[in-house]
Amino acid sequence: MNLHQLQSVLHAPFFLFIKTNLQQKMRKVLLLLCLMIGMVVNAQNNTKVGNVELGTDYATALEQIKAEYGEPVSVTENMVTYKNKRHEGMNFDEVVFKFRNGKFNEARFYQKAGSRAASQKQLEVVAKEMGKNHNMTKDFEDGRIWFYKGGKAPVGLGHFMTISSTPRQGTYYTELRYGPFSF
């Protein structure tokens, strides 16, 4: 065996290790790429409130909202209001669809609770229900009042929805809010 053959034999395990290590790295990169594509596709699904696409022009959105929820109690060019409607399998006392620059950009669903404590209990129920179809995270405001946020905003950074306890009209409500988004 000459010197060149001896070097080849001694280096062969090293090159085999490098080749195997490179294949493992390529598999990891491919897997990571697949996961990232899956997350992007999943994030793009969060563009509708009910059957109405966020960013839809006023006339089309109003037609779709009426088709899903019936006749509203109030309609202006900036807001469409309903009383006692169901959304995502839950009852809401008031539902408000908002528009900016002629486009559907926000929806708010309210459940009357009466007190902050009752509202916080209700928000747990709403978050659990919404968590069936959306990734939800719990966060704290002022270190003691919690709220949930979930999904990915259809435009820009942020979340698709927020569930919180909010004082309104002299009492507390649990609020499910989509937006506002800038279109």
Exposed e or buried b per residue across 74-108, where buried means at least 16 C-beta atoms within 10 angstroms of its C-beta: eeeeeebebeebebeebebebbbbbbeeebbbbbb
- Position 26 scores a pLDDT of 62
- Position 61 scores a pLDDT of 98
- Average pLDDT of the chain? 84
- Side-chain-side CA neighbours of residue 70 (13 Å): 8
- Position 36 scores a pLDDT of 52
- What is the pairing mode between strands 103-114 and 90-100? antiparallel
Domain ranges of the chain: 48-178
Q: Is the pLDDT of residue 44 over 50?
A: no
- Position 101 scores a pLDDT of 96
**What's the pLDDT band for 34 if we cut at 50, 70, 90?**
very low
- Position 57 scores a pLDDT of 97
- Whether the CA torsion 122, 126, 129, 132 is positive or negative: it is negative
